[in-house]
Amino acid sequence: MLIFGLGAMAAACFEYRVATMHRAALELRLAEILRHSSHERVITPRDARLAEEAAGIARQLGTPWTEVLSDLEAASRDTKGRVALLSVEPDYDKHLVRINAESRDLSVALEYLRRLQESPSLRYPMLDSHDVVAEDKEHPVRFAMTAQWRELP
């Protein structure tokens, strides 16, 4: 489970790095456009599209992934690795993160939720659903949670 968590964290870090590089490239392109258009102030559809794309990337980069993933890892460690993260999905428009995970029983899932409620990077973590996986011989509990992330200062 720890390896899976580390893999998810590495994937998120890689995605963050790619988004950072993409944002830098867009900022350079936008600066070039603004420098050339400072004389003529005509905004083309291409310029508007680039500006909109740059704003979207800036919004994505404003997500405090380092803190969120660190708090998810700490909560997992506090449950002695009995929680496996299955997915972490952001909703940039609503500033929400959706977390899907699995534990051996519901009490461990609730302890994980309680720990996340104390985390500095997440606000209002809530259990959305849980199911016992009957097909698995150990009958683990899969659960889904949502939380708002706190803005970076």
- Please name the amino acid found at residue 107: S
Q: Which two tokens stand for residue 45?
A: 């559809």
Tell me if 106 sits within 8 A of 130, measured CB to CB.
yes
Give the pTM: 0.62
Predicted local distance difference test score (pLDDT) of residue 36: 72
Predicted local distance difference test score (pLDDT) of residue 153: 59
**Can you say whether residue 95 is alpha, beta or left, with left for phi > 0 and alpha for psi between -120 and 50 degrees?**
left
Give the closest residue to 23 by CA, choosing from 59, 64, 49: 59
Predicted local distance difference test score (pLDDT) of residue 152: 59
| Sequential pLDDT tens for the chain (153 residues) | 767 777 778 888 788 888 888 888 888 888 888 777 656 566 788 888 888 888 878 777 777 788 888 898 888 888 888 898 899 998 888 889 999 999 989 999 999 999 999 998 899 999 999 999 888 888 899 999 999 988 755
Radius of gyration of the chain from its Cα atoms, rounded to whole angstroms? 20
Domains of the chain, by residue range, sit at 2-61, 65-149
Predicted local distance difference test score (pLDDT) of residue 20: 85
| Owner of token pair 């959706």 | 98
Query: Looking at the domain covering 65-149, what would its CATH class be?
Result: alpha beta
3-state helix, strand, coil in the chain (%, to 5): 50, 25, 25
